[in-house]
Amino acid sequence: MLHRARPERDACPGALRVHEAADGGLARIRVPGGVLTPSQVRAIAAAAALGDGGVELTSRANVQVRGLPAGAELELAARLRAAGLLPSATHERVRNIIGSPSADGRELVDVRAVTGELDAALCATPSLAALPGRFLFAVDDGSADVISLGADVGLLAERAGTLALVLAGVDSGVRATPQQAAGVAIAAAEAFLAEKAAQGRSAWRLAELDDGARRITGRLSATFDVVPAEPRPLPSNRQSTHAQVGRVDRRDGTAAVVAGAPLGLLSRDQLDIITAASDAAGELRLTPWRTVVLPGLRPDEAGRWMSDLGARGLLVDPSSAGVGVTACTGRPGCAKARADVREDARRTLQAPAGGALPVHWSGCERRCGRPQGRVVEVLATGAGYEVGLDEETRASEADADQVSAALVAARRKV
């Protein structure tokens, strides 16, 4: 197996380690499980105002603010800390935990509780400050929506009261109760660091280790009281999660509204209406599909929030052209970019929506922010764009207008 030589430290930005981008400072704020209280939504909007006023939603349901002037870091950190969004200075970049956003309230386990315990245990384990910034945890409520997103350590609800430990997409055979689940995930992350040291690797991801999943399972069974089970193929979620926007009636009699951020961006104006809606809902959940979920609305109010959010340009209609379309920063914010991909992507959104597959625009081969799984890629070449589902179907297209037609065809290849 070939291994890329990795620098020991990754370059992932954080709230304290601000990246100097071409358009100013870029800070990434981790939101474990994607769950925010209304006051935290307000704090993020205030933090964004230190920069360009908007926020970017990431494919790990985190938030980025950009355009920060030099010297804004201290004020940013103070605001986040006061809102409970920066509980640990040492672990802030390793709090990468995605959780099922469960818009319908039918989850098999309380994902928010498990995620909260995992986050607290992670921050309380000094050795785990050394995890790479790319290392990812996932807590899946049984709907198989986030377990398929390539987490290093995943917890998948198998039935009420039982979660399976999934390592780099493979069922380990280890089972845990919801009360044990956070401890098992922490032990797996510690075993990753131990195995990485034993192999002398600078790996950032579990799959980069030789036989990583099996060796970590072995370490766990030697040191941790786990319940074994026959490993099973993981369930797959065939639904297009990126396209799930609109109203959802919840089991508890409330309603949820799911709204998409166009190209993964929320403007100051859109943050204002989301803040007001989260007050009514009681919380906000960010999803890895660059949508936001407002879960606890009164059924008679959900329609009004849908139209208010839609009036500010948020995507609440599944047939909207922007649903499932994302883009990296591109020019002028990124010095590596070959094109202003966001502007070009916006031009194609004037055309009708074109099929079920998500689309990601990239300004160079690094493909920052590309969603996991099958994605129609639009890659800037310097002379135009290449469009396609994979290397074989990718075709050269001259300009953004010609890209539109190619996109419609490629997105239908489900």
The residues binding ligand SF4 (CB under 6 A) are 328-330, 334, 336-337, 362-364, 366-368
Q: Specify the residue, 79 or 394, whose C-beta has the smaller distance to ligand SF4.
A: 394
As measured in angstroms, the least distance from the Cβ of 65 to ligand SF4 is 16
Residue nearest to ligand SF4 (CB): 363
Q: Specify the residue, 241 or 362, whose C-beta has the smaller distance to ligand SF4.
A: 362
As measured in angstroms, the least distance from the Cβ of 204 to ligand SF4 is 17
As measured in angstroms, the least distance from the Cβ of 267 to ligand SF4 is 19
Q: Specify the residue, 3 or 366, whose C-beta has the smaller distance to ligand SF4.
A: 366
Q: How far apart are CA 35 and CA 40, in angstroms?
A: 9
Q: Specify the residue, 45 or 261, whose C-beta has the smaller distance to ligand SF4.
A: 261
Q: Specify the residue, 119 or 377, whose C-beta has the smaller distance to ligand SF4.
A: 377
In terms of C-beta distances under 8 Å and separation of at least 24 residues, what long-range contacts does 180-184 make, across chains too? 181/109, 181/114, 181/117, 181/118, 181/139, 181/155, 182/114, 182/117, 182/118, 182/120, 182/121, 183/121, 183/224, 184/155, 184/220, 184/224, 184/226
Cis peptide before 332 (omega within 30 of 0): yes
DSSP 338-384: SS-HHHHHHHHTTSPP--SS-EEEESSTT-TTPPSSS-EEEEE-SSS
As measured in angstroms, the least distance from the Cβ of 332 to ligand SF4 is 11
The 3 state secondary structure assigned to 128-162 is: HHHCCCCCCEEEECCCCCCCCCCCCEEEEEEECCE
As measured in angstroms, the least distance from the Cβ of 295 to ligand SF4 is 31
Residue given tokens 């797959």 in the structure block: 236
Q: How far apart are CA 317 and CA 323, in angstroms?
A: 8
Q: Specify the residue, 175 or 342, whose C-beta has the smaller distance to ligand SF4.
A: 342
Q: Specify the residue, 102 or 362, whose C-beta has the smaller distance to ligand SF4.
A: 362
As measured in angstroms, the least distance from the Cβ of 221 to ligand SF4 is 40
Contact 159, 176 (CB under 8 A): no
Q: Specify the residue, 79 or 331, whose C-beta has the smaller distance to ligand SF4.
A: 331
As measured in angstroms, the least distance from the Cβ of 398 to ligand SF4 is 20
As measured in angstroms, the least distance from the Cβ of 361 to ligand SF4 is 9
- Tell me the C-alpha to C-alpha distance, in Å, between residue 262 and each of 29, 268, 289, 405: 20, 13, 11, 20
Q: Are strands 153-159 and 137-140 parallel, antiparallel or unpaired?
A: parallel
